[in-house]
Amino acid sequence: MSGIAKTPQPPYYAVIFTSERTSGDHGYGKMADKMVELAATQPGFLGIESSDRDQDGLGITVSYWESLEAVRNWKEHSMHKVAQEKGKTVWYQRFGLRVCKVERDNFFEM
């Protein structure tokens, strides 16, 4: 699941999730891994890119989806809802979430 996502020709959708964590793990790492696994089994999932976060740093995760319907279905998934709730009450100091239509892309490999 790591590295640059292999997405199809645009258009498709991206969900940019940018977050700052509270201190301590409190089950976050395990749940984050589980959510990535679960997202990957959802209809319309295209890929995910995630960068490591240093202490007190910004975490960025971008997931890619075939359609807005796929984005909505994942948002409403019951286990994901549980994680979202815990995110707001325990794990995240603050976050930003942006739903975007990818209009063009460009890839490079040395």
Nearer to its own copies among residue 78 and residue 103 (C-beta): 103
Residues 72-79: contacts with CB under 8 Å, at least 24 apart: 73/42, 73/43, 73/44, 74/39, 74/42, 74/45, 77/38, 77/42, 79/34, 79/35, 79/38
Q: Please, which residue, 26 or 101, has the CB nearer to its own copies? A: 101
List the 45-50 sheet strands across, edge first: 12-21, 58-65, 45-50
Which residues of the chain form contacts with its own copies (CB under 8 A)? 2-5, 7, 10, 14, 16, 18-20, 22, 49-54, 57-60, 62, 88, 92-110
The minimum distance between CB 93 and its own copies, in angstroms, equals 5
Decide whether 18 or 42 has the Cβ nearer to its own copies: 18
CB of 3 to its own copies, least distance (A): 6
- Burial bucket for residue 14 (CB in 10 Å: 0-12, 13-18, 19+): buried
For residue 107, the minimal CB distance to its own copies (Å) is: 5
The residue among 76 and 103 lying less far from its own copies, judged by its C-beta, is: 103
